[in-house]
Amino acid sequence: MPELRKDPIVQRWVIIATERAKRPMDFPPPDETPTSKGCPFCEGNEKMTPPEIFAVRKDGTPRDGPDWTVRVVPNKFPALRIEGDLGKVGLGIYDRMNGIGAHEVIIETTKHEEKLELQSVDSLFKVFNTYKLRLIDLKRDERFRYILIFKNDGKTAGASLSHPHSQLIATPVTPKRIREELLGAQHYYEYKDRCIFCDIIREEALQKERIVYENGGFIAFCPFASRFPFEIWIIPKRHDPDYDSIENDEIFAFADMMKTTVAKLSKALSHPHYNYVLHTGPVRWPRRGYWTTIDSDFHWHIEIIPRLTNVAGFEWGTGFYINPTVPEEAAGYLQETLV
Ligand SMILES: [Zn+2]
Ligand SMILES: [Zn+2]
Ligand SMILES: [Zn+2]
């Protein structure tokens, strides 16, 4: 019998299609022959990107030269532009504003083939610390309301270059998905006087059916109402709305968590293409009634979505998802996959 499950945060229903349940081997591995030829993100090709915004590099080496470990550059084809003001106007019932924002690329390693799961925890520390520093820097810009950090890994996940990188987009409005999540968490808190993410951590630890991996600081699990097969959420055990207040020891635990989780996915499903998104608290420049309760009701986290199925008409038309893999079974496969 197929099952309907409801996400407790955004109240989204999903269909868990148990009758055509898919196991890891039922998803064909993606075909990809990564090429490093003419890659603008490889060490030595720094002149092929716009000038760097930030880099972790060897002391005394010049900007836009080799000898770095993490490098942040503006996106060459930005979705939004950094210069200018918002120019908000109404056109009858419609609203428009200028496409102001930041669009940056975080190049995670000098080595083309060094996927996230192959990097050391020490190198990943530098990547995830860079996320923190970029968030702190961009949050000072009063034009921005939200900063999303995400990763597209592989063609099916939207990556045009196979060199390991993530991206950051700062927007002058709160994105719809984020808003739904913030409001859902706020309503839950108003009702129960507890953070829903802290409650989810407690519940998952209790039920133990959906846990993928756990370390001192973080828990990874397949959410109860997973939209996609092998969807994974990673939540820090310490309540904090904002990623940018993460401490050094927590970044190490986070690096271990990401490396292990992605390695498990990669091994269990033969290197699937995937996306992850970092959901952190919004920028909180004082505005009337704007997210004043975030400190208690929101809790940052990462959502990882392996791209194993296509989003089709039903999903587009309804916002409802059909997931062919039972989350408990997905978690079981991943937990048993040793890396
Ligand atoms: Zn490269
Ligand atoms: Zn919490
Ligand atoms: Zn989220």
pLDDT above 70 as % of the chain: 98
Question: What's the pLDDT at 25?
Answer: 87
Percent helix, strand and coil across the chain, each rounded to 5? Answer: 30, 20, 45
Q: How far apart are CA 52 and CA 57, in angstroms?
A: 11
Asked if residue 289 has pLDDT above 70, the reply is no
Q: How far is the CA of 17 from the centre of ligand 2 (A)?
A: 31
Q: Closest ligand to 305 CA?
A: 3
Q: How far is the CA of 111 from the centre of ligand 3 (A)?
A: 30
- List, for residues 196-242, the tens digit of each pLDDT value: 999 999 999 999 999 999 999 999 999 999 999 999 999 999 999 99
Q: How far is the CA of 313 from the centre of ligand 2 (A)?
A: 35
pLDDT above 90 as % of the chain: 86
Q: How far is the CA of 108 from the centre of ligand 2 (A)?
A: 29
Q: What is the DSSP string of 107-130?
A: E--S-TT--GGGS-HHHHHHHHHH
- List, for residues 118-128, the tens digit of each pLDDT value: 999 999 999 99
Q: Closest ligand to 237 CA?
A: 2
Question: What's the pLDDT at 112?
Answer: 95
What pTM does this model have? 0.95
Q: Closest ligand to 297 CA?
A: 2
Taking only Cα atoms into account, the Rg of the chain, rounded to an integer number of angstroms, comes to 20
Q: What is the DSSP string of 197-247?
A: HHHHHHHHHHH-SSEEEE-SSEEEE--TT-SSTT-EEEEESS--S-GGG--
- List, for residues 140-170, the tens digit of each pLDDT value: 999 999 999 999 999 999 998 999 999 999 9
Q: How far is the CA of 238 from the centre of ligand 3 (A)?
A: 16
Q: How far apart are CA 210 and CA 221, in angstroms?
A: 5
Does 165 participate in catalysis according to the annotation?
A: yes
AA letter at 92: G
Question: What's the pLDDT at 22?
Answer: 85
Q: Which of 163, 165, 299, 301 is catalytic?
A: 165
Q: How far is the CA of 240 from the centre of ligand 2 (A)?
A: 6
Q: Give me 53's structure tokens.
A: 């915004």
Q: Closest ligand to 301 CA?
A: 3
